[in-house]
Structure 1
Amino acid sequence: MIPRRIVPSRFGDTRGWFTESYNKRALTALGIDCDFVQDNHSFSAASGTLRGIHFQAPPHAQAKLVRCVAGAIWDIAVDLRAGSPTYGRWVAAELTAAGGEQLFIPVGFGHGFVTLTQNAEVAYKTSDYYAPESEAGIAWNDPDLAIPWPLGGAKPFLSEKDDTLLRLAEWESPFTYDGHPLVEFN
């Protein structure tokens, strides 16, 4: 599987709108067949808050379905699958509460985001439970990844953990390439 940008339909009227934020049949029709077991929700008060690049290693690797429920974020997925021709490459999408966009991040990809607004909230489903013994990450500012975080030259707000993660070259991937190279979003 590869990351997918998804925009669920919204049905609006004078009251506002309604959407199905998760529909297993619709995702399966897109080639996304995951059993999600946990919902997570984060709040970031400041614009420029950066979280990531995170993942869980096997046997507790996680696929994620990410959406922004307040404000806006710039969300990324980094290919961490050993043997992949797109290893170390990434894709990104702006996710907004106003637009309802989502990003599916399969097992084998690191995930990170930076908030583009104050008071941003992110909700995401995971395909395995949180397992602290399996959590890991890659440095957000690894020059080998060359991710152009939209920070306008400012230093991001980081956790202590995110400020000390390894570079991609210092790490050995436990993920296996599944034959599907990373492709850009439309």
Structure 2
Amino acid sequence: MSMQITDMQSSQTSIEGLQIITLKQVSDERGTVREFFRASALGDFGALRQINVTQSGYGAVRGLHGESTTKLVGCVAGAAFGAYLDARPDSASYGKLVTLELTAGTQVLVPPGVCNGFQSVSREGSQYLYCFTDEWYPGMPGTAFSPLDEGLGLDWPIPVQAGDPAQISAKDVAAAKFSEQTGSE
């Protein structure tokens, strides 16, 4: 195998401001080097203020959370099924849901107020990286909705048992249903 270079690409989704990013990567016989963050490629993204890594077991669901900060998210190990819900009432794409498979090399730029959630779909689990433009703090403005809201039409790839704490937190199960907030059910 000779050196292979994949250039960074970005595409807009049906949610205003939600972008899918394919990272620049260089592969050869030793493996692959990926750029995880390059400020000049993200325009007015802003400065990173906090980075978290979440280790999640097979089938675990986290979210749907829409904080008042921009997030750059992606898998650094394993794979996840990402779900993004526009919960911004003043947005032209309010109520839209975008889902996609996330593997190493794919990221999503999530604007403030767009809810982010994911399910770990790798047997060995996944590591999901969150980069924030603001530091998280208790009581940070934002919103959360139940990832089990049937009215969203969100089909998680692995069935979710609401009472299984290894799969989903009680807090996420008990969160408000977006479809009841909007009357779209």
- Normalising to structure 2: TM-score of the pair? 0.79
Q: Which residue, out of 50, 55, 59, partners 1:48?
A: 59
CA deviation after TM superposition for structure 1 residue 13, in Å: 1.3
Structure 2 residue 128 is the aligned partner of structure 1 residue 122: yes
Q: Which residue of 2 aligns with 1:181?
A: none
- Mapping of residues 76-91 of structure 1, within 5 Å: 76-91=83-98
Work out the CA distance in 1 between the residues paired with 2:118 and 2:46. Answer: 22
| Coordinate RMSD, CA, aligned | 1.9
Moved beyond 6 Å, runs of 4+ = none
Contact kept in structure 1, 2:149 and 2:179, CA below 8 Å: no
Q: Which residue of 2 aligns with 1:12?
A: 27
Q: Which amino acid aligns with 2:64?
A: I
Secondary structure of the residue aligned to 1:62 is coil
CA deviation after TM superposition for structure 1 residue 91, in Å: 0.8
Secondary structure of the residue aligned to 2:27 is strand
Query: CA 1:39–1:86 in 2, change beyond 3 Å: closer, same or farther?
Result: same
Secondary structure of the residue aligned to 1:69 is strand
CA deviation after TM superposition for structure 1 residue 27, in Å: 1.3
Q: Map Cα deviations across residues 24-50 of structure 1 (whole Å, 9 max, x no partner).
A: 11111xxx53322100100012x1100
Q: Which residue of 2 aligns with 1:184?
A: none
Q: Which amino acid aligns with 2:52?
A: N
CA deviation after TM superposition for structure 1 residue 154, in Å: 4.8
Q: Which residue of 1 aligns with 2:9?
A: none
Q: Which residue, out of 90, 105, 109, partners 1:104?
A: 109
The gaps in structure 2 that reach 5 residues or longer are 1-15
Q: Which amino acid aligns with 1:3?
A: L
- Normalising to structure 1: TM-score of the pair? 0.79
- Mapping of residues 1-186 of structure 1, within 5 Å: 2-28=17-43, 32-45=44-57, 47-56=58-67, 61-97=68-104, 100-117=105-122, 118-134=124-140, 136-151=143-158, 153-155=159-161, 157-168=167-178
Contact kept in structure 1, 2:148 and 2:173, CA below 8 Å: no
Secondary structure of the residue aligned to 2:139 is helix
Work out the CA distance in 2 between the residues paired with 1:131 and 1:96. Answer: 28
Work out the CA distance in 1 between the residues paired with 2:160 and 2:128. Answer: 22
Of structures 1 and 2, the one scoring higher in RCO (CA 8 A, sep 6+) is: 1
Contact kept in structure 2, 1:89 and 1:145, CA below 8 Å: no
CA deviation after TM superposition for structure 1 residue 170, in Å: 5.5
Structure 1 window deviating more from structure 2 (119-128 vs 161-170): it is 161-170
Work out the CA distance in 2 between the residues paired with 1:146 and 1:119. Answer: 25
Aligned residues with identical type, % of pairs: 30
Count residues with an aligned counterpart: 161
Secondary structure of the residue aligned to 1:132 is coil
